Amino acid sequence: MKLFLRSSCLLSLLLIVAYSNSAQALNSDEKKIVEYIDKNNTQAVSLIEKMVNMESPTEDLAGVKSVGALFAKEFESLGMTVKWLDMPAEMKRAGHLVAESNGSQGKRILLLGHIDTVLKGERFRIEGKKAYGTGIADMVGGNVILLQALKALNASGLLKDRQIMVMLTGDEESTGEPESVSRGPMRDLAKRSDAALSFEAAVLNTATVGRRGWSSWTLEVEAKTGHSGQIFKPGMGDGAIFETSRILNEFREKLSKEKYLSFNPSMIVGGTTAATTDVSGTATGKLNVVPAKVIVNGDLRFISNEQRAAARKTMSEIVARNLPGTTAKITFKDGNPAMAPVEGNYALLKQLDQVSRDLGFGEMVALDPGERGAGDIGYISDLVPSLDGIGIGGPERSHAKGEAAALDTIPVQTKRAALLIYRLTR
């Protein structure tokens, strides 16, 4: 019993010392920021509830604009200049919200979020330490953390002189095309910035210095056709299905071991005739006929533009070497660019790590880039040092029923973000 009491006393003393050391690491401005966040955490949860219950799937243009209007009022209350950027009608996207402070102090910071969701209909609820609802992790929680961080700076008299730009996109889950139009404004803001922070959901005590990009590809194989008894003979050749099998297997042999690179032939149809759309395919054929056509649709994921280019070159070379009696071609379509894990991103992580330690929250490390898919940050990370994955923690089942996040991560992540912004803009 005495040993237990001594151990308990020692643990308590260590916690007190740790808290005291973290408090001493913060200046008076930072202590004000932390105090505001602690006092207003209930407000943050209430705002998340309100946003979750406002349905805003990408295709619901009115719903996305309604959420944008609510955020616009919040940013205007902080003295920021706010505007809504409409997209062309033929794009069938709601547009984006942009807010700016008009200061001149410190580094210029671009903060990113998105106000569209994939699904709709699951209302906010709390069970234990988790909150559930459509879009709570991706990314209502992150948007509110972004906002609360700016509110904390404003309440401490520290926002008006800063150079802060915010962009909340309305089509992150299904990017409007052409991307030069839908993401042109984001790149313009990035060109005026010194650093970019994106508030996608956080994974434990990590931040994201790299995210894989993705693109799509279509393989089309054609071959001589005729009676199946003639297959492999000089006048007939090997048929479209054998040629397709060769190509896909060589893709696997040449590319499957490369770090951070993945390719997935997601749909294949073939026979005497074949046709596909993005999500379906049809084919006809007979058992006694050599197949004349195969179409394969797939995706390619990569960590840098250089890796994408090298993979495409390898795939094209494989496609060009045809079996007898066959021809093949492959076409590529760009999707989200990669956020390459470059030195400037690690420098931002180092600053966030110091913030976290000074707050007493411990070390922050880089998330393995292979653990994240594509995101908006990839459209600008070639222009400015960038960091992602600093939003709400404990994400579960994003893009699915039962989407959830951990409520107790809200004040932690908000403090980290607010102090990082403060230190970057001093």
Q: How does pLDDT run across 359-371, given as a tens digit for each residue? A: 999 999 999 998 8
Cα→Cα distances 63→53, 146, 343, 411, Å: 11, 21, 39, 28
Half-sphere exposure of 145 (CA within 13 A, CB side): 39
pLDDT at residue 149, rounded to an integer: 99
Half-sphere exposure of 188 (CA within 13 A, CB side): 9
Least confident of 11-15, 265-269, 284-288: 11-15
d(CA 298, CA 174): 17
For residue range 25-35, list pLDDT tens digits in order.
Answer: 899 999 999 99
Residue 3 binned pLDDT confidence (cut-offs 50, 70, 90)? very low
At residue 14, does pLDDT exceed 60?
A: no
d(CA 235, CA 227): 11
The structure tokens 């042109």 sit at: 184
CB 78 within 8 A of CB 89: no
At residue 9, does pLDDT exceed 60?
A: no
- Name every residue whose Cβ is closer than 8 Å to that of residue 11 and which is 6 or more positions away in sequence: none
Mean pLDDT across 228-248: 98
Residue 43 binned pLDDT confidence (cut-offs 50, 70, 90)? very high
> Residue 324: is the preceding peptide bond cis (ω within 30°)?
no
pLDDT at residue 24, rounded to an integer: 63
d(CA 194, CA 231): 62
57 strand-pairing partners? 117
d(CA 141, CA 199): 9
- Three-class DSSP category at 41: helix
- Name every residue whose Cβ is closer than 8 Å to that of residue 212 and which is 6 or more positions away in sequence: 260, 262, 301, 302, 303, 338, 369, 370, 372, 373, 374
Q: What ranges do the domains of the chain cover?
A: 28-211+339-424, 214-334
At residue 148, does pLDDT exceed 90?
A: yes
At residue 21, does pLDDT exceed 70?
A: no
Choose which CATH entry (3.30.930.10, 3.30.750.24, 1.10.580.10, 3.30.70.360) describes domain 214-334.
3.30.70.360
pLDDT at residue 364, rounded to an integer: 98
Q: Which residue has the higher pLDDT, 241 or 5?
A: 241
Of the chain, the percentage scoring pLDDT greater than 90 comes to 86
pLDDT at residue 47, rounded to an integer: 96
pLDDT at residue 373, rounded to an integer: 84
Residue 162 binned pLDDT confidence (cut-offs 50, 70, 90)? very high
CB 252 within 8 A of CB 338: no
Mean pLDDT across 396-421: 94
d(CA 355, CA 234): 71
CA proximity to 179, closest of 47, 74, 42, 335: 335
Mean pLDDT across 298-317: 97
Residue 221 binned pLDDT confidence (cut-offs 50, 70, 90)? very high
Helices 41-52 and 28-39 cross at an angle (nearest 10°) of 50
**Amino acid, single-letter form, for residue 5:** L
Mean pLDDT across 160-186: 96
Look up the pTM and report it: 0.88
- Output the six-digit token pair for 360: 């007493």
At residue 314, does pLDDT exceed 60?
A: yes
pLDDT at residue 10, rounded to an integer: 46
At residue 104, does pLDDT exceed 50?
A: yes
**Amino acid, single-letter form, for residue 8:** S
CB 202 within 8 A of CB 393: yes
pLDDT at residue 8, rounded to an integer: 43
Residue 22 binned pLDDT confidence (cut-offs 50, 70, 90)? low
User: Which CATH number applies to 28-211+339-424?
Assistant: 3.40.630.10
At residue 372, does pLDDT exceed 90?
A: no
pLDDT at residue 23, rounded to an integer: 56
At residue 128, does pLDDT exceed 70?
A: yes
